[in-house]
Amino acid sequence: MDYWLQISITVEQPAVQRITEAMDGLGAVAVSRQHAGGSARFDTASSDFQGWSTEKVSGLFPPDADQKTICNYLHDASGGHTGISCQILADRNWEQIGRDQFKPFNVEGALWVCPSWCQPPVPNAVNIIIDPGLAFGTGTHPTTALCLRQLTKIDLTQRTLLDWGCGSGILA
């Protein structure tokens, strides 16, 4: 494939889920959501992040997708929203682009987070070798970075540390 068709629409809640599901059903190979204004929404009972009040939903479709049919369907599914944009994206080596964007970084001078395809900048330091995309959490999210900073301040000599429920990422 030489290119992809990206179709995007900015909508307010509660249409975001409906549009996301519609794009998936219309043959999108990927659907992404990003902040497009408004305030963050949280579940009132748990304080879990629920998204934003306004989001841009983008679907990546094969080049032979029926653009007119997709746009008409999204128009109807959004309640008549007219701000639908379409653009052609050249096909690229997305995996390599992602790799190029993830560089080793230092946490509090005490440890380095480094992908496996890079040499650790300080070979004798504490180096955490982890590849983005293979685990949930590589230390770039603010809350994960906070945990890493805290870990550098704790003397763990002769101690056992348990992180209950951290999943498969850098804190595991």
pLDDT of res. 164: 65
* Each residue's pLDDT tens digit, 54-91: 889 999 999 999 999 999 999 999 988 768 999 999 98
* Each residue's pLDDT tens digit, 100-121: 888 999 998 888 999 999 999 9
AA identity, residue 111: L
In terms of average pLDDT, the best of 37-46, 92-101, 104-113 is 104-113
- Return mean pLDDT, the chain: 84
pLDDT of res. 30: 92
pLDDT above 90: percentage of residues in the chain = 41
Question: Which structural domains are found in the chain, ordered by start?
Answer: 3-91 (3.30.70.120), 100-172 (no CATH)
Which residue, among 75, 59, 72, has the nearest Cα to 5 in the 3D structure?
59
pLDDT of res. 89: 92
Higher pLDDT, residue 59 or 130: 59
Number of neighbouring beta carbons within 10 Å of residue 7: 21
Pairing of strands 3-12, 84-90: antiparallel
pLDDT above 70: percentage of residues in the chain = 83
Higher pLDDT, residue 7 or 165: 7
Answer for the pair 107, 139: CB distance below 8 angstroms, yes or no: yes
HSE-up of residue 74 (Cα within 13 Å, Cβ side)? 31
- pTM for the model: 0.60
